Amino acid sequence: MNLQGAPEGSTLFAWFWDLAQEAISRPELLALVYPEQVDQFECSQCAQCCQQPWNIELDADYYDHWYSTFDNHPSGRFKNPFLPATEGTRAVLNKQPGSNRCLFLDQDNLCFIHKEYGAEAKPEICQRYPHEASLHGNLYSPSLKSSCKTAARMLEETGELVLRMVKRPDQWEHPPVEPLQPWIGLLLEGIWQHSISPARCLAGSVFSLKQISANPLFLTELDLLSQLYHGQVQAWRQDTGPKAPRWSECLELFAVLDPFRAPALDRFLAKLKEGNRLPFAVSESERQHLSAVLRNYLTRRLLNLNPLQAKGLTLFQFAFLQAFSLLAVQVQALCLAWYSERRLTPEILVAALNQVETAVLQNPAWFDRHRFNQLDSATCLDAITVATSLDLCLPEI
């Protein structure tokens, strides 16, 4: 690909820089960018996703086609299989009485619809999960939802980014050029090529976000983009010294955003506030493993630009959401470790990540309650600085 004009020394940023120009000169192409683990996913049939308080929405065609089939099934097990749509909502799958288990989840934890009628008979959401894809301008990124246990475990695997150009399907529309792609490439370069911890990468990104806030042309003018790149890399290089977590502010932010409501977590948070430091030592090997997992996790989240569209988030709100994700995963991992072996084992880290994604980041009610799309840029930048001050990938001071 033609990388002429990209800042000297840049790698992933240069690829995204070129991508932004290709969107104008070659709109028939799509950039396919995703972690290679996406191609390796196989369902473990754990049925966790079929036992969540989520609402599985149905379109009108599915409702009309399948309602009577299930409602009149000879077994009598599936009466009132769907809850009908009301004003402002869509119809959803019903659940088993007094449970979050899907009405169609059998005792063997397999889907009755899949067994009886085939995979194509399931609702579209069930067919796709945990696969998702983000189409933003000419950037197409397949991914996996980390609320799936198997998808979360795959974050432990060492992998690479798949980067290639493909022809846009004829039936796909040509959306407008999106200017923030080079900034996404800049952050990916930070965590993949500059050996920066994920939290430190986001903390340092406040530099470029402030530049963009003061002058949005930093996202669109090539000379300003080059200046933004060099300034951001310099900011990362200067931000190498040890830092103490801002414990009280971190925990206050965590509590305000209310990711979980559990007495055990409340007791643990009280202990953290009391001690104002880590409640147990984190070994170097645990830090290295945590850094690799969070790098893969942040990569997955940065490439999923759906919140920008579905939730109407600004770049600053989107960046804060990623910073809070890292904070929530680390706090939850510490809590789980405290109540077990007091070690950040791989199993505990994956469980924490899976729980945060399941209960918080894929919970529409959580987004609506905290009104992320109403936060101004200054509030977001301050919150990013607080959230990223907790960085378990670095030695405690």
Q: How far apart are the first and last CA of the chain?
A: 45
pLDDT exceeds cutoff 90 at 2: no
Report yes or no: 389 and 203 within 8 Å, Cβ to Cβ: yes
166-175 CB burial, b ≥16 within 10 A, e <16: eebeeeeeee
- Is the per-residue pLDDT at 254 higher than 80? yes
Residue 324: closest CA among 272, 285, 279, 370: 370
On whether the CB atoms of residues 225 and 219 are closer than 8 A, the answer is yes
**1 pLDDT more than 50:** no
Return d(Cα 305, Cα 302) in angstroms, integer: 7
Residue 188, SS3? helix
| Bond from prior residue into 279 cis (ω within 30 degrees of 0) | no
Tokens representing 100 are 């979050």
Write out the H or E segment, with its range, that includes residue 205. none
Other Cβ atoms less than 10 A from the Cβ of 274: the count is 9
Q: Phi and psi for 273 in degrees, rounded to 5?
A: -65, -35
Q: How many angstroms separate the CA atoms of 174 and 375, rounded?
A: 30
Interval 182-226: pLDDT, tens? 899 999 999 988 778 999 999 999 999 999 999 999 988 888 988
**pLDDT tens figures, 313-368:** 999 999 999 999 999 999 999 999 999 988 999 899 999 999 999 888 888 788 88
Number of Cβ within a 10 Å radius of residue 250: 19
pLDDT for residue 6: 56
- Give 106-163 pLDDT, tens digit per residue: 999 999 999 999 999 999 999 999 999 988 888 899 999 999 999 999 999 877 888 8
Q: 68-110, pLDDT tens digit by residue? A: 999 999 999 999 999 887 776 788 999 999 999 999 999 999 9
Report which DSSP code applies to 371. T
Distances (CA, A) of 341 to 250, 322, 345, 391: 24, 28, 8, 21
Q: Which residues contact 61 (CB under 8 A, 6 or more apart)?
A: none
Cβ atoms 385, 242 nearer than 8 A = no
Residue 3: the pLDDT is 40
Predicted local distance difference test score (pLDDT) of residue 88: 67
Tell me the pLDDT of the chain averaged across its residues.
88
SS3 111: strand
pLDDT at 103: 96
Residue carrying the six token digits 């940065």 = 302
Asked whether residue 52 carries a pLDDT value surpassing 90, the answer given is no
The pLDDT, as a whole number, for residue 381 is 97
d(CA 138, CA 22): 8
Q: What does the pLDDT read at residue 7?
A: 63
Given this model, what pLDDT does residue 5 score?
A: 55
Mean pLDDT: which of 168-182, 210-224, 253-267 is highest? 210-224
